[in-house]
Amino acid sequence: MSFVNTIRQWDEGVAFADMGDWETALRVLLDIQDINSKIFFNIGCLHLINQELDDAEKAFDNSICKDEHLAVSFFQRGITFYKKLKFEESLGDFQNAFTELRGNQLIDYKPLGLRYKLYACEILHNIALAQAQLGQWEKAQENLLTALSLKTESKHGHIDKALESVLKQKLFQPVEIQEGALFRPNKHYVAELEKKDYLGKAKVVASIIPKDDFSGFAPLQPQVEVVPARQKTPEVLRALEGEPHSVRYEFIAETVEELTVLPGNIVFVLQKGVDNWASVFFNGKMGLVPYNFLEPVEITSCKQGLEGAPYNDIPAPPLGKPPSRPENSEDLDASQNANAVKTSDEDLIKMCILKVQFRYTVAIQTAIGLSYSTVLHRISKKLSLPLDTITLSYKKTAYDRINADELEMENIWRSAQNGRLTLWCDVNKDKENRPLFVALYTYEATRPEDLEFCKGDVITVLSKVNEKWLEGQCKGKVGIFPECFVEKAMSHQRNPL
């Protein structure tokens, strides 16, 4: 099946779903031969509406196989397992959905065609529900407390009610995606399905020849020999409403909605989304490109043409700006502290003496409420140890020591007494011999699997993905990144332990 037919049937199926005709919508989508992950997601949602749980599970399986980072498919398959009373499988899918958020508070799927925002606090709400069904009431309570700290909107009041239910060891209702929320094909592609006749049929309005009904083309007329002194601005530059940008890095499209561009290309940004993706026009095509791969430029040749200067058909090369210098570690800590603990001018930040038990004991004064990654960064700097080789833990009871992580850190801060807290630091010696690289440029993540870092950050390389991409760890996070953004750290050797 051609791409055009796929878009046509996809759009037709969604149209039937908008009218509430679930059966016809499902039949149209199932007839598509080349089904992508988004269409499989739609099929699974329609099966869920019809209470066809086995078929819904298979559809979400296919959606995840097509795109293993589609968090919303994990979320919906978790709902399916929950309705099938498979609570362990449901818990695993909700945890996978939370992992695919990669530390973000939400994913807005609107740029991809789905009018839905997947919130971290709602995923934790469902994780707690699955744990409650399995009798894990303490874990359910901890996840709901974390969900409360991640609430961003007033509509999340159900989390408070869920916490009250867990304290009484009672169950509550899961958070579900509303009926009819489906992935829709790109509106630009849908608009191209209908052929438009801009000229229409010719008709004789007036003629000097009696009873003239000729509607063809007249013979060639003598041409004007005088060339205008001033040339017109190229139509493509006058017609576009977008802002011109220069492409900084190569981007290869992986989906039909994306657009392949190369360094030095000039594209026109039509719209920038909140998810860091931009809708651009380039070479007669429209598509999505990561906005951090672009930088604004000024096309001065248009102004020169309007003022009478000769227009140069070959545009000047774009003036690229060097990567901005990242903030130093002290500025980074200060900005993270400000985000973690918000205070007014009248209130003082609550400080804590953090004692770290290592081969020797060190003390750090820090603000209460910092994230685990920030605390880990400060301790790594204080002990002069590579970030990825250390693990922090704390004593939950007199005999039970638990490893710290992002979810556990909030409970750790609650255990602070009289402004003092003690953590234990362990070193993983197996990671000492892994190669270190230093970031030459800042790299911003554009996909969930990317590793984000700033210029000057030290990265531990875990594996080589292919000739151009590496997998590494930086600041407690793991992901992939282009090899050309880093260089081997010859002078950054592991400190002796």
Task: Kindly state whether residues 427 and 470 are assigned to the same domain.
Answer: no
User: Residue 314: its pLDDT value, please?
Assistant: 46
Task: Kindly state whether residues 247 and 389 are assigned to the same domain.
Answer: no
Q: With respect to residue 394, please indicate whether it lies within any of the assigned structural domains.
A: yes
Task: Kindly state whether residues 7 and 152 are assigned to the same domain.
Answer: yes
User: Residue 55: its pLDDT value, please?
Assistant: 94
Task: Kindly state whether residues 140 and 27 are assigned to the same domain.
Answer: yes
Split into its structural domains, the chain has a count of 4
Task: Kindly state whether residues 159 and 19 are assigned to the same domain.
Answer: yes
CATH of the domain at 288: 2.30.30.40
Task: Kindly state whether residues 150 and 273 are assigned to the same domain.
Answer: no
Q: With respect to residue 32, please indicate whether it lies within any of the assigned structural domains.
A: yes
| Residue 256 exposure: Cα atoms within 13 Å on the Cβ side | 18
User: Residue 128: its pLDDT value, please?
Assistant: 94
The overall pTM is greater than 0.75 = no
Task: Kindly state whether residues 126 and 18 are assigned to the same domain.
Answer: yes
What spatial distance separates the first Cα and last Cα of the chain, rounded to whole Å? 62
Q: Among 127, 146, 167, where does a domain finish?
A: 167
Q: Which residues form the domain of 41? A: 3-167
d(CA 251, CA 470): 17
Task: Kindly state whether residues 110 and 90 are assigned to the same domain.
Answer: yes
d(CA 124, CA 142): 10
Short-list 290, 305, 304, CA closest to 445: 290
Q: Among 277, 308, 339, where does a domain finish?
A: 308
Task: Kindly state whether residues 238 and 294 are assigned to the same domain.
Answer: yes
d(CA 99, CA 69): 9
User: Residue 475: its pLDDT value, please?
Assistant: 80
User: Residue 395: its pLDDT value, please?
Assistant: 83
List, in order, residues 6 or more apart from 438 with CB less than 8 Å away: 456, 457, 458, 459, 486, 487, 488, 489, 492
User: Residue 183: its pLDDT value, please?
Assistant: 93
Short-list 477, 340, 358, 332, CA closest to 427: 358
Q: Among 254, 281, 308, where does a domain finish?
A: 308
User: Residue 4: its pLDDT value, please?
Assistant: 79
345 beta partners:
none
User: Residue 136: its pLDDT value, please?
Assistant: 93
User: Residue 302: its pLDDT value, please?
Assistant: 39
**What string of DSSP letters covers 51-103?**
T-HHHHHHHHHHHHHH-TT-HHHHHHHHHHHHHTT-HHHHHHHHHHHHHHTTT
**What string of DSSP letters covers 114-166?**
---EEEHHHHHHHHHHHHHHTT-HHHHHHHHHHHHHT--SGGGGHHHHHHHHH
Task: Kindly state whether residues 272 and 415 are assigned to the same domain.
Answer: no
Q: What is the mean pLDDT of each run of 10 residues along the chain (497 residues)?
A: 80 91 92 90 94 94 91 94 94 93 88 90 94 93 90 84 90 92 84 57 55 52 47 44 82 82 86 80 85 78 41 46 43 47 45 81 82 85 77 78 85 85 79 76 84 88 83 82 85 41
Q: With respect to residue 27, please indicate whether it lies within any of the assigned structural domains.
A: yes
